[in-house]
Amino acid sequence: MWVLAAALAAGSVGMVRADEISDLRKQVEEQYNALIRLQIQLSQVENAQKQQAESVKKLESTGGFTLPEPMKWAERVRLYGDFRYRHEQIDGDRVDQRDRHRIRARVGLKGSINDEWSFDLRLASGNDDSPISTNQDLDGGFSSKRIWLDRAFLTYEPDKMDGLAVLAGKMGMPFYTVGGNQLIWDSDLTPEGIAVQYTVNLNETWSLFANGGGMWVEERGSDTDTSLWGLQGGLSHLFEDKSKLTGGVSYYKYGNIKGKAAIGAFAGNTSQGGVYAFDYELLETFGEYATKLGETPMAFYGNYVVNTASGVQGDTGWLLGARYNKASAPGTWEAGYEYRDLERDAVLGAFTDSDFIGGGTYGRGHKLGFKYALAKNVAAGATYFISERDADGGGKRDDKYRRLQLDIELKF
């Protein structure tokens, strides 16, 4: 019996061990499967990390966000613009003192369609449809302000002709102006038509530029339209000390303007019976010398224009200016000075500087400017005009005119 009992006990133990081994085998299989799943998950994480690293490298190399293929066009478009807040004070012999606050807001899009074609589209503020001002007075009982189409033009730059650009539409001024002066053209003027620009380096020190254009100024129904044709050429020389001398000549001819009604306003030009008394055929010479005083940039420039049309007496205008330093990085500043003398019919008054003598021709005087960079893309500035003008058309420029402008400007 004892032997039988021992045998039965031994069998039971064997059966228990077999069951435990079976359970252990199942646990090992489950752990193995779990390990396989974990390895798969780790592999997926590693692949995701590699893809992320490749995306980061691509982002760093392109300098921007990588868009899906249907949105690739957005990578070729850039938003730009500026905003200016201005306090302005005007005073003079025949002007009651005036204080006003003004804003200027401009926003645009520049984009390349492909390697040869691009576009520029910009909207801007403005009191009215004046072609030479984008300022907006703050008045009218908090009324809404207008926004105008300020630029809309295309540019074609053929690959086979480096330095050549063809512009068509409503564009920025296509002609070069030394020191950015406004003796002939206001800086806000955006002419309309077709222009061609060409620059070429003749050697390491000499370069040549040429600009031409045909602009549509005024449509006159069955009569011949008023147009503007311009041709400009110039040379630049780079010296060993990196200073640069630029000079050139321009010729501008207005077609079918004598005997026609004013373009906006006569703005100082001679009129007879409510129409222009003369043609405007302008010959311009200009020059600029840019150098450094130590490490500080500075420039001197000059401009001279004469209306070569027959019969014109008040036919000349000239300007001399200087610029010192550059307000670029925060904490930097710049200063500038100009003196100009502009006779009655030297240029078309509707398109010359809108701030000097209150706009138009037949005035002379000084312009002093100062700008300080407060932060990146933020600057404060002051401009003061001290001038004399012919306010009543009597032929004497003895009316004192003073204009002070205090600005805060942001760019992006």
* CB-side neighbour CA atoms (13 Å) of 30: 6
Classify residue 412 by its DSSP letter: -
The rounded distance, in Å, linking the Cα atoms of 252 and 346 is: 12
Question: How many residues are given for the chain?
Answer: 412
The rounded distance, in Å, linking the Cα atoms of 180 and 169 is: 22
User: Do 48 and 371 touch, CB atoms closer than 8 A?
Assistant: no
Per-position pLDDT tens, the chain of length 412 = 555 555 545 555 455 566 777 778 888 888 888 888 888 888 888 888 888 777 667 666 655 556 676 677 788 999 999 999 999 999 999 888 999 999 999 999 999 999 999 999 999 999 776 899 999 999 999 999 999 999 999 999 999 999 999 999 999 999 999 999 999 999 999 999 999 999 999 999 999 999 999 999 999 888 899 999 999 999 999 999 999 999 999 999 999 999 999 998 999 999 999 999 999 999 999 999 999 999 999 999 999 999 999 999 999 999 999 999 999 999 999 999 999 999 999 999 999 999 999 999 999 999 999 999 999 999 999 999 999 999 887 888 889 999 999 999 999 9
Classify residue 376 by its DSSP letter: T
Query: Which residues are paired to 121 by β-bridges?
Result: 109, 152
* CB-side neighbour CA atoms (13 Å) of 134: 23
pLDDT score for 13: 47
Classify residue 154 by its DSSP letter: E
Give the list of residues 6+ apart from residue 23 with CB closer than 8 angstroms, or none.
none
pLDDT score for 85: 98
Phi/psi at 305 (5° precision): -140, 140
The rounded distance, in Å, linking the Cα atoms of 276 and 209 is: 33
Pick the closest to residue 238 from 246, 230, 247 (CA basis): 246
Query: Which residues are paired to 263 by β-bridges?
Result: none
> How far, in Å, are 146, 151, 152, 176 from residue 124 at the CA level?
9, 9, 12, 23
- Which residue do the tokens 């809108």 mark? 354
pLDDT score for 66: 62
pLDDT score for 394: 80
Phi/psi at 110 (5° precision): -120, 135
210: Cα separation from own chain's centroid: 21
User: Do 406 and 385 touch, CB atoms closer than 8 A?
Assistant: no
Give the distance between the most distant pair of CA atoms in the chain: 151
Give the list of residues 6+ apart from residue 209 with CB closer than 8 angstroms, or none.
176, 197, 198, 199, 200, 233, 234, 235, 236, 248
The DSSP H or E segment spanning 386 is: strand 378-389
pLDDT score for 72: 73
This prediction has a pTM of 0.82
The rounded distance, in Å, linking the Cα atoms of 45 and 227 is: 68
- Buried b / exposed e over 205-214, threshold 16 CB at 10 Å, is eebebbbbbe
The amino acid at residue 347 is V
Pairing of strands 281-293, 296-307: antiparallel
The rounded distance, in Å, linking the Cα atoms of 97 and 202 is: 54
